[in-house]
Structure 1
Amino acid sequence: MITLFKILSTLPLWLLHAVGWGLGWLVFAVSGVYRQRFVANARQAGLGWRHWRGSVGESGKLVAELPRLWLGRPVPVQWDGAQHVEEALARGRGVLFLTPHLGCFEITAQAYAQRYGQTQQPMTVLFRPSRQPWLREVMSTARARPGLHTAPTTLAGVKQMIKALKKGQSLGLLPDQVPPLGMGVWAPFFGREAYTMTLSVRLAQQTGATVLMAWGERLSWGRGYRVHVQPLPASLPADGAQAVRIINAALETLIRDCPQQYLWGYARYKQPRQEI
């Protein structure tokens, strides 16, 4: 599989995206469980067919582009809102980037590392190691690059993240990822209660880090990506539950701006697992 990944990483981005588009529709057609969850999540957000249908193919592109992003040549990246990053770094209190399952969330950390990670402050991203040994090896190799560090989803990883923010460094999280039981609260997400992580709120409150929303828009015809960055619309209050609601509302706004690139097939409303 590693050899296959290396071969795929040499292909042009437009070709990988074309293959991924077909893969996305194939999975949507043959997997009833995935299709039902996909449609139900989109309808929960109040979206009709014409608003979410593009996300079927985009979900496949998300998988197909990974070999190129992990092992291939750098891809073109544009920035929208880079001034927010530069202003936050200048404050020196650390920067917490919150990136939903929207567009290409892999590119946001890579783009930051390339533009800011080596010359200003590195970024640490939270990740859960794959159960597949070959994929775990590929991921660890791909994500260990100049200006970009990784932290596991363990207590040691949380301590590593707090330490990084207190040094004025940057951190990347997926705030709409369902955390293990006991590490989140139930909060509305598109009008339905979803178990939502409190880690992002705790990190911001404990360190005084600047919180920014970021996501990587996948441009058409393999032209690369555009990283969008913007501040939270409101400051996070001391009350953790209320702070989580503010983050969820901000995520909803981002997703409504580009619903065709959200990962509607993600099991956002599932019951949290018991951490072992």
Structure 2
Amino acid sequence: MKSFIVSIGICAIWLIALLPLSIAHKLGAFIGWILWITNSKKRKISEVNLRLCFPDYSDDEINRIVKKSLKALGKTYTEMGMSWMWPIPKVHKLITHIEGEEYLQQALDENNGIILIAPHLGNWEILNHFFRTYLFMTVMYKTAKIPKLDKFIFDTRKRVDVGLVPADREGVMSLYKILENKGVVAVLPDQQPRIKSGVFAPFFGQKALTGKLIGEMASTTPAYLLCCYAKRMSDGRYSVVLKPANDLVRDPDPAIAATALNKSIEQCILDCPEQYQWSYKRFRTQPETNINFYQ
């Protein structure tokens, strides 16, 4: 049954890929509106997260961002067809602005390796298309439980010539080896890790279990720390934004490194908060076991 559902989903992505991007975006905005109007779980989680992160915001401000973020999330869904199926040169033409290209050039010139820090902001799949013209990067890949889905995701990402390593101990060791050889790795920094792989650090003033991997790699290698995201512009195309991360991410103290990492992510999010994935339970695990923000 799960395999059948996956087949239907893949067919839907192929069909959406046939649409002009403007129509796909309208469909995505409609999906977001449905998530809003039905008072969905994603809306409730988004509201909780935004109230925690922006306690001074009024109800109207919170509602405005939640509604926009759900529409942005819907667009992210309907952009999968474009990101995964369109000819690569056609996708690349949608990247019409680059902010901070000089930081990428500096990282390449230093030739000490690069750690790309890519939060769930805007369309992170577009980054694969952008970076392939400058470098070869390797990302950790979490295997999907359904083989058909796993193969589909693997093949669509591999077509843009991205290195993929498993999200396990072996994969982590591969990333270290790549950095030792002055290569490029990309890490999604804003998902909750396992307890033993993380440390609690403030994220918009709230305690968030934050992965230690980036800090550990940064403290043991001279790799350039570069935050990156692709924000959706009003014309439906994309601006890739590149920013150096806080250098305290290199601190050997995991708590200091994680705090600096989260501060760097916050600065990215504040550029376009309505395009951040607020529907993820970022504060699900707390040091006080009796706290559950998402009841």
TM over 0.5: yes
Deviation of 1:96 after TM superposition, in Å, equals: 0.4
Identify which of structures 1 and 2 has the higher relative contact order when contacts are C-alpha pairs closer than 8 Å and 6+ apart.
1
Q: Which residue is equivalent to 1:136?
A: 150
Following TM superposition, by how much is the alpha carbon of 1:62 offset from its aligned partner in structure 2, in angstroms?
Answer: 1.0
**TM-score, scaled relative to structure 2:** 0.85
Q: 1:175 aligns with which of 183, 189, 192?
A: 189
TM-score by length of 1: 0.90
Q: For 2:150 and 2:170, how far apart are their aligned partners in 1?
A: 19
Amino acid at match of 1:100: P
Residue segments in structure 2 that go unaligned for 5+ positions in a row = 1-6, 287-295
In our comparison, the structure showing a higher alpha carbon Rg is: 2
Q: CA deviation at 1:108?
A: 1.3
1:259 to 266, 273, 276: 273
Flag structure 1 segments of 5+ consecutive residues without an equivalent. Answer: none
Q: What is the letter of the counterpart of residue 211 of structure 1?
A: L
Match of 1:102 in 2: 121
Number of the residue aligned with 1:127 = 141
Return the offset for 1:84: 0.8
CA distance in 2, matches of 1:246, 1:265: 23
Q: Given that residues 129 and 160 in structure 2 are in contact (C-alpha distance below 8 angstroms), is that contact kept between their aligned partners in structure 1?
A: no
Question: For structure 1, which segment, 261-270 or 42-51, has the greater mean C-alpha deviation from structure 2 after superposition?
Answer: 42-51
Match of 1:5 among 7, 13, 19: 13
Aligned residue number for residue 108 of structure 2:
89
What SS class does the counterpart of residue 53 from structure 1 fall into?
A: helix
Sequence identity (%) = 30
Helix, strand or coil for the counterpart of 1:195? Answer: strand
Q: What is the correspondence of 1:106-255 to structure 2 with a 5 Å cutoff?
A: 106-113=125-132, 115-117=133-135, 122-222=136-236, 224-235=237-248, 236-255=250-269
The secondary structure found in structure 2 opposite 1:130 is coil
Q: Where has structure 1 moved over 6 Å in runs of 4 or more? A: none
Q: Which moved more, 1:169-178 or 1:226-235?
A: 226-235
3-state secondary structure, aligned to 2:247: coil
User: Following the alignment from structure 1 to structure 2, what is the Cα–Cα distance between the partners of residues 9 and 32?
Assistant: 26
Name the CA distance, whole Å, in 2 between partners of 1:16 and 1:132: 26
Find 1:41's aligned residue among 46, 49, 60. 49
Deviation at 1:171, TM superposition (A): 1.1
SS of the residue 2:240 aligns to: strand
RMSD across aligned C-alpha pairs, in angstroms?
Answer: 1.8
Instruction: Give how far 1:31 is off.
Output: 4.8
